[in-house]
């Protein structure tokens, strides 16, 4: 939306949503509350306890379970009482597959219902916080889950089209029914809808936005997938266990397996776990360039949050999608050092303030300063955040090359090195780089004279020979130097993804006896360490020409193989050393199903000998302008 268009929208929306600026005299002492704005944000003038609670079933355009009937989605609604007598309100919508298992949010919350089947407790805080400020909150059971018809298809087309149908209903283009089967219209809403959610929920927002549906004005994608392929593999290597697509669908659907047997068969066979190749199954689940959802079709504004140490939704899920959206899309981003995280748990006060302004601006038309603030918030370390105009930061490419003496420098070297493709953890790969290890090659820069920051996506290029038709090629970029860092690896009852519970609760918004809107407080989980794996890259060598087909290598023949690592934003401190580790199978990406700790049911390593020609090997780094290596 251009500036002129946005000014037109702000003027038009004021005609459909009555706004009362703080300090304006009320028309009468008995007048019903109107949406009130003070300090650039809406105020909590509506009663949460007295809000209207209702539910409908929206007809989708799909029959995912093949029973000959179009699937109906269960939609639970809470909206200000005043929206029943003329006030039209915008919608914040969360579509989730998690309302049964495992539950929503870090506290795994579930819905509670009254005798009429209406929800008395909505998971998360969106209803408690935003309904008193004049929003409706709409909670959608994804197709195949909870009280909706159909079968979940693990990011498939029907998952996306179900959510789109709800946006269509909110804008008068689809049909919904009450419990008696009578049609219900959403006459209480302006139609302006924002989707928000974490992980699978965030993916649904990205998928629906990519259909270009009108009425979806913004999405807030919190560590959400944009490529189904990258949920289970990277560059031909499996990163989740075989059969995970079917298992994910079964895990969130509590109906008998027989109901969705045909869908489960497609989820079992479609991914082609034997090869790890990209195919039509994965293309359907591609929200960047796929047949159902395309980044180029996005009309909605986008607020996205991504953890650079997320192993579930890797950073390229954000960066590759981000780059393919039209430049005209209004956007904002938070880039963190955490894992798979919703920032409500990490930076709660700042997050709520930012999200509030964002929704007010995009859905209410409030003329606040959210779009004048720096677009990107970037976390560089524990309690250390900076803002900048966008992500990545302006950079120039610096290329480093491994040297025969184990150093990492600017000039090409001569000689070769070799290692075996075995499955190792990243800690084992990166530890003690000065010690010879038959399963890796390690190269280090001299101690850095000044702090140095990288922002963006490195790429690595190896000239190599194999003694087998393929190998899993791995690369790590490592910060060597003792420091206190976000501990994203630790998982306990009280810590995960770089956070830990610190005691006490915050209560967000208004409460009722069933829904108190209170949540545990969390803070950065840190640990001192001698080194830190900043980013990594992996590839099945036989997919070096194409992700859609395998091209086995001829043993003994030299090949130049180039690929991207995962994106990063990271500051190396003065005195630290930057390390490049070349290795085989990255066992940290292998989900351990057998309980052996080996991950050997995913990628056990090929055992191939990888011989690297140092003269043709390099890593290209996006170095933030104004810093240098040396």
Total number of residues shown for the chain:
630
* Cα gap 195→95, rounded to integer Å: 8
Strand partners, 121: 112
Q: How many CB atoms lie under 10 A from the CB of residue 328?
A: 11
Beta bridge partners of residue 402, listed in sequence order: 408
238 backbone dihedrals φ, ψ, rounded to 5°: -75, 130
Work out the number of other CB atoms within 10 angstroms of the CB of residue 12. Answer: 10
**Burial label, 528 (beta-carbon count in 10 A; 0-12, 13-18, 19+):** exposed
Residues in Cβ contact with 189 at an 8 Å cutoff, skipping those fewer than 6 apart = 79, 83, 88, 89, 90, 91, 136, 170
Report residue 173 as tokens: 């283009």
Q: Could you give the strand order of the β-sheet that contains 52-59, starting from the edge strand earlier in sequence?
A: 183-184, 176-177, 52-59, 72-79, 136-141, 89-96, 189-198, 216-222, 301-307, 331-336, 376-381, 384-388
H or E stretch including 284?
A: helix 280-284
Structure tokens at 269: 């066979």
Q: Quick one: DSSP state of residue 362?
A: I
Between CA 135 and CA 72 the distance in angstroms is 24
Which among 204, 96, 104, 83 has a CA at the least distance from the CA of 141? 96
Give the whole-angstrom CA distance, residue 613 versus residue 118: 66
Residue 74 carries which DSSP code? E
In angstroms, the CA 160 to CA 302 distance is 17
* Residues assigned a catalytic role: 199, 310, 340
């Amino acid at each position: 939306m251009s500036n002129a268009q946005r000014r037109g929208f702000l003027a038009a929306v004021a005609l459909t949503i009555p706004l009362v600026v703080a300090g304006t005299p009320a028309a009468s002492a008995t007048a019903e509350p109107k949406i009130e704005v003070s300090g650039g944000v809406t105020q909590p003038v509506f009663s949460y306890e007295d809000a209207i609670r209702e539910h409908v079933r929206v007809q989708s355009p799909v029959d995912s379970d093949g029973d000959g009937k179009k699937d109906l989605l269960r939609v639970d609604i809470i909206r200000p009482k005043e929206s029943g007598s003329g006030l039209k309100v915008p919608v914040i919508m969360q579509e989730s597959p998690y309302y049964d298992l495992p539950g929503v949010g870090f506290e795994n919350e579930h819905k509670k219902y009254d005798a009429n089947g209406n929800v008395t407790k909505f998971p998360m805080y969106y209803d408690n916080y935003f309904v008193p400020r004049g929003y409706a909150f709409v909670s959608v059971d994804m197709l195949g889950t909870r009280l909706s018809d159909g079968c979940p298809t693990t990011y498939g087309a029907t998952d996306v089209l179900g959510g789109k149908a709800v946006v269509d209903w909110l804008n008068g283009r689809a049909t919904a029914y009450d419990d008696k089967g009578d049609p219900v219209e959403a006459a209480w809403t302006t139609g302006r809808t924002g989707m928000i959610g974490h992980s699978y929920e965030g993916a649904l927002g990205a998928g629906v936005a990519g259909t270009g549906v009108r009425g979806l004005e913004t999405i807030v994608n919190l560590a959400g997938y944009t490529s189904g392929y990258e949920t289970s593999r990277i560059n031909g290597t499996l990163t989740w266990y075989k059969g995970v697509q079917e298992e994910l669908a079964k895990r969130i659907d509590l109906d008998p397996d027989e109901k969705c047997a045909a869908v489960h068969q497609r989820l079992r066979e479609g991914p082609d776990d034997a090869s790890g190749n990209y195919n039509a199954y994965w293309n359907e689940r591609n929200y960047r360039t796929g047949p159902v959802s395309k980044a180029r079709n996005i009309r909605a504004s986008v607020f996205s949050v991504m953890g650079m140490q997320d192993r579930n939704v890797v950073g390229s899920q954000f960066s590759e999608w981000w780059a393919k959206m039209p430049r005209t899309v209004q956007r904002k981003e938070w880039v963190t050092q955490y894992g798979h995280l919703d920032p409500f748990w990490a930076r709660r006060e700042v997050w709520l303030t930012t999200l509030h302004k964002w929704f007010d601006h995009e859905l209410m038309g409030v003329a606040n300063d959210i779009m004048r603030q720096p677009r990107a918030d970037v976390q560089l370390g524990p309690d250390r955040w900076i803002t900048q105009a966008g992500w990545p930061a302006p950079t120039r490419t610096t290329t480093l090359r491994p040297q025969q003496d184990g150093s990492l420098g600017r000039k090409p070297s001569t000689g070769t090195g070799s290692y075996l493709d075995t499955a190792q953890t990243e800690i084992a790969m990166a530890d003690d780089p000065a010690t010879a290890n038959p399963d890796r090659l390690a190269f280090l820069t001299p101690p850095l004279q000044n702090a140095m920051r990288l922002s963006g996506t490195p790429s690595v290029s190896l000239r190599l020979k194999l003694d087998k038709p393929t190998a899993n090629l791995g690369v790590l970029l490592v910060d060597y130097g003792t420091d206190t860092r976000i501990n994203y690896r630790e998982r306990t009852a009280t810590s995960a993804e770089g956070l830990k519970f610190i005691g006490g609760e915050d209560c967000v918004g208004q409460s009722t006896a069933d829904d108190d809107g209170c949540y545990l407080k969390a803070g950065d989980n840190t640990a001192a360490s001698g080194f830190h794996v900043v980013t990594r890259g992996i590839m099945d060598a036989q997919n070096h020409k194409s992700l859609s087909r395998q091209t086995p290598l001829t043993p003994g023949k030299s090949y130049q193989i180039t690929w991207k690592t995962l994106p990063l934003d990271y500051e190396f401190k003065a005195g630290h050393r930057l390390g490049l580790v070349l290795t085989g199978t990255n066992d940290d990406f292998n989900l351990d199903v057998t309980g052996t700790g080996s991950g050997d049911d995913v990628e056990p390593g090929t055992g191939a000998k990888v011989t690297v020609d140092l003269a043709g090997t390099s890593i290209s780094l996006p170095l933030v302008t104004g810093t240098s290596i040396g």
